[in-house]
Amino acid sequence: MLAQHSVVGERIKGLSGVWLGVGTENVRKICAVGVHLSRWTTMHGFALNVNTDLSYFKNIVPCGIQDKAVTSLANELGHIVDTELIKQQLKFHFAALFEAHYRT
């Protein structure tokens, strides 16, 4: 989905999520992915920063990673992004990847 917007997302071994600028000094996280297990219950999450106010990240250590920045799709593209379009694109790619069907 990021590639549709000319954004290159990659993984970093040992770190969860989707990263931009891998192999440069400007590595930044655009998407968090996580799993939590507690009392025989499994929870999973996915958070893509689309039009996120990044100023809030100055008050926390996102995902416990101190030496990496956080970004958003809007920040990378330089303009507000249509979240409904992003939702549809994510559904399409998720369904294709996991060979699932979805309704538009």
Catalytic residues: 63
Structure tokens at 79: 């303009």
Q: For residue 58, how many C-alpha atoms fall within 13 Å in the half-sphere facing its CB? A: 3
According to DSSP, the residues that pair with 43 across neighbouring strands are 36
Q: How far apart are CA 18 and CA 90, in angstroms?
A: 14
Structure tokens at 45: 């999450």
Strands 69-70 and 28-38: parallel
Closest by Cα among 34, 29, 97 to 69: 29
